[in-house]
Amino acid sequence: MLECKNLRKTYFRKTAVDNISLELEEGKIYALLGPNGSGKTTFMKMVAGLVKPTQGTISYKNQQIGVNSKKEVAYMSTEPYFYNYMTVEDVGKYYADFFEDFDMSAYRELVDEMELDMQTRVNKLSTGMMAKVKLAATLARKAKLYLLDEPLNGIDLLTREKIVTAILKAAGEDCTIVISSHLVEELESFIDGAIFIKNGCNVMVGDAEEMREIQGKSIVDMYKEIYA
């Protein structure tokens, strides 16, 4: 469903992504792995259409990234991005106004599950609470491709479980999920595929189970070996 060829993004002298080529299949959960500054966020932003590649191509269902892909791709940024005047409820209304696949009742349910108040202003939320709102807004869409950038960042252990449950609930045969995280241990148990990114390049991409069999080690151990 998603195909990237020789993807490159430079910001003047700095190279954020340097030659990423990969294909993602429908109905799978991928872990996008790599240390800080390896290019994970830039890659996700390019797929979401927020960053234009300097070189290379990205196609989603054989079409260039654009208005049509944005209808089906749900991106959750690691940084807060809601307008300051908004309440948690306003965020839901905004998504409902612009995304046809957004389900307000699912959003309310997720907000309840994450113990948030609909009337709280987003600029009053802590990092962890903000992450929950972003995740609730993203997962309340019935998207075909979810790009979750560090969804477990700043989240306590108990809430992490809730978030992982919510992600797994959103997963289905017709949707693909890409999760970037440093917390490899948290993802190891439920991912179908893994993408290892180092210095802006994908050093290893594939089926998680096959990787484990071929390498004879867990994804966590592979992570340690690649980035040591």
Partner 1 sequence: MLKLIKYELRKQMLSKVIMAVVMVLLTALFMFVTYKNDHRAAYATLAVLFLTMVIAITYSAIEIATYFGKDITTKQGYMLFMIPYGSKTILAAKMLSAIVQVLITTILFGFLLALCVSVYLWKNYNAKTFFEGLIMLLEYVFEIDIQLGTVINTIIIILMFWVLAVTLSMFLDTVSTTLFVNRYKWSTIVCVAVYFLLFYLIIQGLYMVESIPIPESIFNPIGYIYMIIIDFALFFGTAWLMDKKLSI
Q: Which residues bind partner 1 (CB under 8 A)?
A: 9, 11-12, 14, 45, 48-52, 66-68, 70-71, 75, 77, 79-83, 85, 94, 97-99
Q: For residues 121 and 160, which CB has a smaller minimum distance to partner 1 in the complex?
A: 121
The distance of closest approach from Cβ of residue 51 to partner 1 in the complex, given in angstroms and rounded to an integer, is 4
Pairing of strands 201-207, 193-198: antiparallel
Phi, psi of 109 (to 5 degrees): -65, -45
Q: For residues 52 and 105, which CB has a smaller minimum distance to partner 1 in the complex?
A: 52
Q: What is the DSSP string of 183-215?
A: -HHHHHTT-SEEEEEETTEEEEEEEHHHHHHHH
Nearest by Cα to 142 from 195, 106, 94, 186: 106
The distance of closest approach from Cβ of residue 182 to partner 1 in the complex, given in angstroms and rounded to an integer, is 20
Q: For residues 126 and 189, which CB has a smaller minimum distance to partner 1 in the complex?
A: 126
Residues in the chain: 228
Say which residue the tokens 């939320």 belong to. 125
Cα–Cα distance, 18 to 152 (Å, whole number): 26
Q: For residues 110 and 130, which CB has a smaller minimum distance to partner 1 in the complex?
A: 130
The distance of closest approach from Cβ of residue 63 to partner 1 in the complex, given in angstroms and rounded to an integer, is 13
The distance of closest approach from Cβ of residue 176 to partner 1 in the complex, given in angstroms and rounded to an integer, is 18
How many CA within 13 A on the CB side of residue 5? 5
Phi, psi of 2 (to 5 degrees): -125, 130
Cα–Cα distance, 46 to 58 (Å, whole number): 8
Q: For residues 98 and 172, which CB has a smaller minimum distance to partner 1 in the complex?
A: 98
Q: For residues 94 and 190, which CB has a smaller minimum distance to partner 1 in the complex?
A: 94
